[in-house]
Structure 1
Amino acid sequence: MTNPPPPQDRSYRWPAEWEPHAATWLSWPHNRNSWPGRFGRVEPVYARMVRVLATSEPVHINVTDAAMERRARHYLSLAGADGEITFHYIPTNDAWCRDHGAVILKEEGPGTGDRLALDFRFNAWGGKYPYDLDDAVAPQMAETLGIPSKSADFVLEGGAIDGNGQGTLLTTEACLLNSNRNPQLSKQDIEERFRLDLGVEQIIWLGDGIAGDDTDGHIDDITRFVSEDTVVSMVEPNTADENHRPLADNIERLRDVRLTDGRKLRILELPSPPPLVYQNQRVPASYANFYIANSVVLMPGYHPSTDLLAAEVLASCFPKRDVVTIDCRDLIWGLGAFHCLTQQIPR
């Protein structure tokens, strides 16, 4: 099947994550180098994630071949996963579908519903790891969905941006202005690309990310929109912790924000879990790496006391969805959690 050409002279919008999904798209984990010494614990956690997602919406999963599909089905069966789960033979270097998957837009205007898949360039967070297969995933997703695909000659990962569906986008200077992404582009150039490619009007720039994040500071470990005018943002009250100052600085920036209609941004604080360190390496454990599906919110769990506090914040934001916490202390050794693994397909 060949996907249709991109429609011309149409206006598209990047929907918010909480808007209705047709499905969630994933890439099955297989790169043992991403979880050295812990890979055997990762697939069962991943299967539990799929089980929860499949109660909410159809799930599509990239696998390399029939052998990987059989392995995945084995773990899904052990986890009791049921529902509409479809496998696609789309090979990947790794499991982080948020960053290598297509970003799907919807056509603006009443009575319209056409979608457009954006194929941004992917370079494994500045050339840190192999990425040849991952960089080819987005157009294959579009072809499988039967929707037009548009190539964007711009290095961008899905975890580097977050939006409210109404023209405002969040990102970080640490990631997008890093010379390992688009060194030829200025901050103003990048803002213009966002406006042209994603149809947004307002770009909110935060500063640095959290310790242990090999993406150079993805926004989905720091601050996320939960409604058109509300964000949740990570805080670290311990002044001796290396995350305290960067997170406090980001909160200060958010307090100065006025949305396009003049409203102040509403800010809810998410607690930080206690530091997690494996093999003398701190990992980027963050409650901001949750994923909003149609009927559930998947939240990574790290420590009982802070898990409860974070879940209460998210439950207040999504009263019509169940907040489901899954222990991610093994999964985060790969330096990512649920939002990093998922890519929503707007309905």
Structure 2
Amino acid sequence: MKKDKKETVLYRMPAEFSKHKGTIMIWPVRPGSWPNGGVMAKKVFTEIARHIARHEILYMVVSKDYEKEAREQLYLAENEADYKLINSNIELVIADTNDAWARDTSPIFVKKLDDKGKLNGEVRGVNFSFNAWGGEYDGLYVHWEEDDKLAINLCDSLGYDYFDYAPFVLEGGSIHTDGKGTLIATESCLLSPGRNPKLNKKDIEDVLKDALGIKKIIWIPYGIYNDETNEHVDNVCAFTSEANVVLAWTDDETDPQYAMSKADLDVLEKETDCDGLPIKVHKLLIPKNPVTIKEEDLEGYEFEEGEDERELGERLAASYANFYIANGIALVPQFGDDNDAKAIALLQELMPEREVIGIYARDIIVGGGNIHCITMQIPE
């Protein structure tokens, strides 16, 4: 049920590291995103879904046409370990979508503040417009109607009231918050002309503060090199706890990522959170060897007219910063690279209360995203 936006002053977006009720994912089927019918992507999505379902409810959004396929792959046989726990925690939600980027098309959830300013109240969704990361200006596919409707459809299906901020365009991957009221975003993304071209920076800040209960916004210049989302923040910088962030980094000054990350670092090292605590930055190396599109990848895509197409040798936006935090665990992308283990070690050090689990993620990033991009949390 749609609610009056004036009430949002009583609500705030929690941090991802706070307690969850569940996680939303979408079954990957779009032929222009997932090569070879998404066979490999579906295996990785299933692996991720099962990890999450050991700790919280996993809502898998799937169209009616693929319900049988998703059920057969997601649910464990009765003789397999953890089958009762996992099967009971995976719920299929029947809804049409254009693609599988749950982070960007699901509702962003906020939680009501109590009289002491703590997040102890009910959970509601927030609906924003989605236009495939740029609409007619530089969007990545032509038809996004079902994705744009998904946030409201999910709120209705899962029983959440929501605040409606459409037609303001915002994707969940373009923001990161600490749950206290501090939000980090990239200028390259939120100020891009394909999203809200009639609004200036101050206008955008006002909407974010009003819709998500934000008190302070930290703008960093850039995201990850060649990130086709106009450089979402969730691929370059993420909170691991209050006043602690990881920043995607390379020591190779000849890599185009170096100047971008250095510019972000220069901002973050001078910043404080909304309570005045200095932001502590932890450098999280990107893969040593660039991850690129191979010939066998290209042979598996089926692009529709007007859709952004892949090119042989294209550098993909591979980053370990695109991890996902669920209850008790953190799922971290892995690429078969020398820096894989270093990423896990750093994140385990920063989140000692969680089990940090590596997930081979190349079969996700060939679709244009990563682990964080395909998951959206619902607070407890």
TM-score by length of 2: 0.87
Contact 2:322 2:332 in 1 (8 A): yes
SS at match of 1:165: coil
Matched, 1:14 2:29: no
Residue among 98, 101, 114 paired with 2:103: 98
Q: 1:173 aligns with which of 173, 184, 187?
A: 187
Q: Which residue of the partner structure matches residue 55 of structure 1?
A: 54
> 2:68 aligns to what?
70
**Identical positions, percent:** 36
Q: How far has the Cα of 1:263 moved from its partner?
A: 2.2
Give 1:269's match in structure 2, choosing from 280, 283, 288.
283
2:340 corresponds, among 293, 298, 307, to 307
C-alpha separation in 2, matches of 1:284 and 1:4: 36
Map 1:166-315 onto structure 2 (within 5 A): 166-273=180-287, 274-278=289-293, 279-315=312-348
Secondary structure in structure 2 of the residue aligned to 1:284? coil
Q: Matches of 1:252 and 1:8 in 2, distance apart?
A: 36
Distance in 1 (CA, whole Å) between partners of 2:265 and 2:5 is 40
Q: Distance in 1 between matches of 2:279 and 2:2?
A: 39
Query: 320, 336, 339: which one pairs with 2:369?
Result: 336
Q: State the distance in 2 between where 1:36 and 1:146 align.
A: 34
What displacement does 1:295 show?
1.4
| Greater mean deviation of Cα atoms: 193-202 or 67-76 | 67-76
Cα offset, 1:306, TM superposition: 0.8
Contact 2:2 2:164 in 1 (8 A): no
Change (3 A) 1:69 1:76: same
In structure 2, C-alpha distance between the alignment counterparts of 1:256 and 1:337, rounded to whole Å = 29
Instruction: Give RMSD over aligned pairs.
Output: 1.7
Cα 1:164–1:326, aligned 2, differ >3 Å: closer, same or farther?
same
Matching residue of 1:116: 124
User: 2:300 corresponds to which residue?
Assistant: none
> Secondary structure at 1:292's aligned position in 2?
strand
Aligned residues: 344
The question of whether the paired residues in 2 share the 8 Å contact of 1:122 and 1:157 is answered with: yes
Q: 1:202 to 1:316 in 2, by over 3 A?
A: same
Q: Which amino acid aligns with 1:259?
A: D
Report SS of the residue matched to 1:334.
coil
Matched position secondary structure for 1:125: coil
Distance (Å, rounded) in 1 between the aligned partners of 2:196 and 2:258? 29
Within 5 A, what are the aligned runs for 1:132-171? Answer: 132-153=145-166, 154-171=168-185
Aligned equivalents of 2:274 and 2:358: distance in 1? 34
3-state SS of 2:198 partner: coil
Counterparts of 1:113 and 1:259, CA distance in 2: 23
Q: Which one-letter code corresponds to 2:67 in the other structure?
A: E
Does the Cα contact within 8 Å between 1:300 and 1:337 map onto a contact in 2? yes
In the alignment, which of 85, 92, 111 is matched to residue 87 of structure 1? 92
Any conservation in 1 of the 2:3–2:164 contact (CA below 8 Å)? Answer: no
Q: Residue 38 of structure 1: CA displacement? A: 7.3
SS in 2 for 1:159: helix
Measure the CA separation in 1 of the matches of 2:263 and 2:37: 34
> Which is further off, 154-163 or 308-317?
308-317
Aligned partner of residue 73 in structure 2, secondary structure: helix
Q: CA deviation at 1:208?
A: 1.7
Shift of 1:15: 0.4
Contact residue 110 and residue 124 of structure 2 kept, 8 A: yes
Aligned-pair distance for 1:169? 0.2
Structure 1 runs of 4+ with >3 Å offset: 3-10, 77-81
Q: 1:75 deviation in Å? A: 2.0
In the alignment, what sits opposite 1:325?
358
Residue 23 of structure 1 is matched in structure 2 by 22
Q: CA-to-partner distance for each residue in 1:82-111, whole Å, 9 max, x for gaps?
A: 231111111100000000000010000159
Does the 8 Å contact 2:28/2:34 carry over to 1? no
**Offset, 1:258:** 2.0
Provide structure 1 residue ranges, at least 5 long, that are not aligned to the other structure: none
